[in-house]
């Protein structure tokens, strides 16, 4: 049977000042396919799909969705035309309940004679959540009661319950744990099996090959090629993305743990209600310590606790010399760096410039203020070291692509010459080239005697980079694994579940 076109994109174009983010891209997406869109950070993937889903306006060209020309004014308008998106960052709004978030812009269905039937809205929302296997999320709860992952799961329901013709999944998987990913993949397959279309953006080439039927590559805003997923392998895709062959190794290759020295920071009997129970750990200088686990295990709170950012914490967090770390100021003053999983809300000053974001903790520590010129040069140095794709350091962080925002977070802590780095999901949304750079950087820092804690949902990242891995379950440490050639994903998974 001949394939039918679902989305016909012709000459799609967008400029942001001097940046030609999407350069006359023409592409067809078919019914009944998962079509991956891949490319390095800043190659234009989100800009392309954001135009389709009404997040930004179309700069040029046309989208024809199932025979109808569309130019959505906003996300709700796009939904009404059959285009939906699960975004890379936080896509739900504080101050609203779970159900209000799910039906934002679609409340009319619950209106009768000018009155909103709130009970009916909550009932339908809960039925949908239950139907997606998410009964632990309550429709009537304020959305901010839930963590980043649960909010993403709500967003999956929000974007799919009305059966959109095309669903964009923008680098969502790295925000989810294993079970969340499986849920998302199930939803994606359902859309495909229903003869609709998924546009899947991901930096994980294994996942792209496993899930997609078709793969299109963008490079610097330009369309490069569309390939059949069955006819390519990971190396072929990497070469197409980067425009040259990539080197094979990625992770650390040594199995030498002799660098680990004195304790840099420790936690003793730390509890945070609902998150951590009597957790103790020691992080040493010259060591990369990994923390893994399933979504609700509490691992993300460990990062917050070490950075003095936990609310209602009991127990002790202290440096090797006994200095207590009980708040964020103490953490920054003692050279602790923290990159949160929730980048936009917890790591970046999103309404400020790249320069302000990079210099923030360093300026605090300098004895004399820097001249404006030196401040700019300082920011430029570290932005360059992290290869942030930008027009200049005076650009607002909000204008950067997701992966480039993460590079700014890392550039900040590189500039601050932190001794202890607490990195939650450090490579979330990062492309393969920069991922390799980050792993190299972590290894370099380890060799310089820095202490690094990596909290990650990526099991292979933990196995590949860490000297020791603590696996958490039910807010406690379920087991500890030493770096070894023989460590497998299953060794970790069996401790998690
Ligand atoms: N609002 C904006 N203002 C200015 N420039 C922008 C804006 N949004 C995106 N850009 C720029 O457009 C280019 C393409 O960004 P886009 O977010 O589409 O990339 P991407 O391929 O989705 O990257 P990533 O994998 O990092 O998410 C980048 O250079 C980015 O800095």
| Same structural domain, 270 and 235 | no
pLDDT interval class at 342 (50, 70, 90): confident
CA–CA dist 343, 127 (Å, integer): 31
Ligand 1 atom showing the smallest separation from residue 203 Cα: 25
Give the chain's domain count.
Answer: 2
Provide the residue range defining the domain that includes 238: 5-242
CA of 250 to the centre of ligand 1 (A): 25
| Same structural domain, 221 and 165 | yes
| Same structural domain, 55 and 133 | yes
Position 248 scores a pLDDT of: 57
Residue 258 domain-assigned (yes or no): no
| Same structural domain, 235 and 95 | yes
pLDDT interval class at 19 (50, 70, 90): confident
| Same structural domain, 106 and 219 | yes
Q: What residue owns the CA closest to ligand 1's atom 24?
A: 41
CA–CA dist 329, 313 (Å, integer): 16
| Same structural domain, 280 and 200 | no
Residue 247 domain-assigned (yes or no): no
Model confidence at 282: pLDDT above 90: yes
Give pLDDT tens digits for 88-134. Answer: 877 899 999 999 999 998 888 888 878 888 899 999 999 999 999 89
Residue 379 domain-assigned (yes or no): yes
End position of a domain, from candidates 177, 212, 242 = 242
Give pLDDT tens digits for 150-176. Answer: 999 999 999 999 999 999 999 888 778
Model confidence at 407: pLDDT above 70: yes
End position of a domain, from candidates 179, 207, 242 = 242
| Same structural domain, 141 and 221 | yes
Position 67 scores a pLDDT of: 96
Nearest CA to 403 out of 36, 19, 39 is that of 39
| Mean pLDDT confidence for 310-329 | 95
CATH number, residue 191: 3.40.50.300
| Same structural domain, 345 and 389 | yes
Within 13 A of 193's CA, how many CA atoms are on the CB side?
7
Residue 383 domain-assigned (yes or no): yes
Residue 252 domain-assigned (yes or no): no
Who lines ligand 1 at CB under 6 A? 16, 19, 21, 39, 41-47, 88, 171, 389, 399-404, 429, 431
Residue 249 domain-assigned (yes or no): no
pLDDT interval class at 246 (50, 70, 90): low
CA of 400 to the centre of ligand 1 (A): 5
CA of 471 to the centre of ligand 1 (A): 35
| Same structural domain, 237 and 287 | no
pLDDT interval class at 223 (50, 70, 90): very high
- Rg of the chain over Cα atoms, rounded to whole angstroms, equals 23
| Mean pLDDT confidence for 16-21 | 84
| Same structural domain, 106 and 235 | yes
Residue 256 domain-assigned (yes or no): no
Ligand 1 atom showing the smallest separation from residue 405 Cα: 26
When comparing pLDDT for 266 and 370, which is higher? 266
Tell me the whole-structure pTM to 2 decimals.
Answer: 0.73
End position of a domain, from candidates 207, 242, 277 = 242
Residue 325 domain-assigned (yes or no): yes
| Same structural domain, 444 and 342 | yes
Position 245 scores a pLDDT of: 59
């Amino acid at each position: 049977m001949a394939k039918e076109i679902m989305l016909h994109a012709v000459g799609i174009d967008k400029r942001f000042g001097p940046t030609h983010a999407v350069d006359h891209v023409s592409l067809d997406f078919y019914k009944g396919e998962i079509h991956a869109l891949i490319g390095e950070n800043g190659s234009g993937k989100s800009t392309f799909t954001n135009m389709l889903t009404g997040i930004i306006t179309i700069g040029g060209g046309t989208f024809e969705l199932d025979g109808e020309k569309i130019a959505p004014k906003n996300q709700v308008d796009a939904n009404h035309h059959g285009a939906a998106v699960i975004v890379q960052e936080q896509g739900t709004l504080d101050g609203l309940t779970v159900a209000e978030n799910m039906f934002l812009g679609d409340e009319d269905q619950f209106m009768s004679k000018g009155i909103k039937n709130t009970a009916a809205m909550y009932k339908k929302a809960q039925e949908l959540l239950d139907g997606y296997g998410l009964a632990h999320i309550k429709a009537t709860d304020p959305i901010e009661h839930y963590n980043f992952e649960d909010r993403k799961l709500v967003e999956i329901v929000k974007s799919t319950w009305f059966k959109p013709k095309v669903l964009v999944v923008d680098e969502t998987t790295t925000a989810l744990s294993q079970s969340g990913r499986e849920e998302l993949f199930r939803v994606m397959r359902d859309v495909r099996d229903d003869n609709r279309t998924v546009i899947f953006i991901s930096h994980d080439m294994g996942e792209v090959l496993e899930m997609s039927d078709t793969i299109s590559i963008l490079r610097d805003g330009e369309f490069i090629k569309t390939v059949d997923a069955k006819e390519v392998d990971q190396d072929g895709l990497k070469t197409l993305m980067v425009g040259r062959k990539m080197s094979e190794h990625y992770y650390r290759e040594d199995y030498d743990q002799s660098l680990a020295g004195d304790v840099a920071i420790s936690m003793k009997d730390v509890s945070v209600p609902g998150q951590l129970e009597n957790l103790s750990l020691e992080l040493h200088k010259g060591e990369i310590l990994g923390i893994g686990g399933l979504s609700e295990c509490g691992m993300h709170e460990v990062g917050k606790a070490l950075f003095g950012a936990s609310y209602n914490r009991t127990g002790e967090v202290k440096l090797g010399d006994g200095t207590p770390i009980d708040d964020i100021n103490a953490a920054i003053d003692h050279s602790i760096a923290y990159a949160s999983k929730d980048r936009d809300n917890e790591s970046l000053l999103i309404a400020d410039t790249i320069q302000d974001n990079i210099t923030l903790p360093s300026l605090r520590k300098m004895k004399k203020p820097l001249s404006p010129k030196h401040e700019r040069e300082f920011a430029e140095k570290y932005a360059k070291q992290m290869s942030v794709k930008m027009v200049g350091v005076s650009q607002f962080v909000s204008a950067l692509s997701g992966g480039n925002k993460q590079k700014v977070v890392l550039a900040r802590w590189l500039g601050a010459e932190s001794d202890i780095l607490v990195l939650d999901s450090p490579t979330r949304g990062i492309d393969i080239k920069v991922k390799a750079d980050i792993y190299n950087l972590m290894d370099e820092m380890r060799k310089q005697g820095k202490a690094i804690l990596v909290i990650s949902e990526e099991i292979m990242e933990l196995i590949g980079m860490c000297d020791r891995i603590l696996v958490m379950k039910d807010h406690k440490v379920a087991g500890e694994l030493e770096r070894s050639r023989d460590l497998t994903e299953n060794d970790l998974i069996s401790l998690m579940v």
